[in-house]
Amino acid sequence: SYFGWNGNECGALVMIDERVFDMPHLADGFVDYLISHEVCHQWFYNLVGTDGVREPFMDEGLATALSHLLMDKVHGRKHMMLEYPMGLKWLPPIQRDDYRNQGLRAMFAKGSDGAIRRDMGEYGNIAVLFNMAYDKASKVFDLIRERMGESAWLEFLKHIVKEYSYKLMTLNDFQRELEAFTGRDWKPFFEEWFDGPGNTDWSLAKVEILESGPEGTPRTAASLAIPELFSPAATFFDKP
């Protein structure tokens, strides 16, 4: 099969462009991630239906977030997308986080960022679609996971699969189920991160040199200055 992109999910079927497997084997890390992403769609797109035209970020954001979570557990956060052979190791390393973030950085630099909640046509072009519906949306789902804790997040997703198997789930359904599951009001969070720009920023406020550590290695303590760019009410859970 040949696509204008690398792979595609189908009902009980994963299709991968055959040219992916013809690439030099130094890109095994990319293939591993790609197949994991498409397999994750068997839960979110296939078993739990979503509206791919009106809310493409629902299945793509969840599949992206879950495939990266899986890759973190299997390969670690520093997972390399490319493994160069001897003689080419001078080339710049490309970690999975680089692959995930580079499109977002470009989008921010161009000023084309905005709300995640929009339909397919409102993204404007395929680059913004990938950067927003896949990468940025996945990071917002990661924020929810971090606020809940991983165990609670996975239990919640099991609940979603049970309640919405062979049904259509919208973002409003997802929010309502999340509020019922946690007993908290998530409206400020969804308004900021799905309907608003959903950005925050931080800066290094102070660095303090502490007494030397083992073998005379200096230790440092850094303080971060984090402006409140969204409602404090959006932070519901302490990190475990």
pLDDT digits (tens, 9 = 90+) for 138-182: 999 999 999 999 999 999 999 999 999 999 999 999 999 999 999
61-75, 77-91, 181-195: range with lowest mean pLDDT: 77-91
The answer to whether 170 touches 58, Cβ cutoff 8 Å, is: yes
Q: Where does the pLDDT of residue 78 fall: very low under 50, low under 70, confident under 90, or very high at 90 and above? A: confident
Contacts of residue 108, defined as CB under 8 A and 6 or more positions apart, other chains included, come to none
For residue 195, give the DSSP letter.
I
Amino acid at 55: E
Counting Cα atoms < 13 Å in the Cβ hemisphere of 13 gives 3
Contacts of residue 153, defined as CB under 8 A and 6 or more positions apart, other chains included, come to 144, 145
Helix axes 171-182, 56-75, angle to 10 degrees: 60
Would you say the pTM of this structure is higher than 0.85? no
Percent of the chain with pLDDT over 90: 55
Contacts of residue 215, defined as CB under 8 A and 6 or more positions apart, other chains included, come to none
Enumerate the β-bridge partners of residue 225.
Answer: 203
* pLDDT for 109: 83
**CA–CA distance from 66 to each of 24, 168, 200 (Å)?**
26, 19, 23
Enumerate the β-bridge partners of residue 220.
Answer: 209
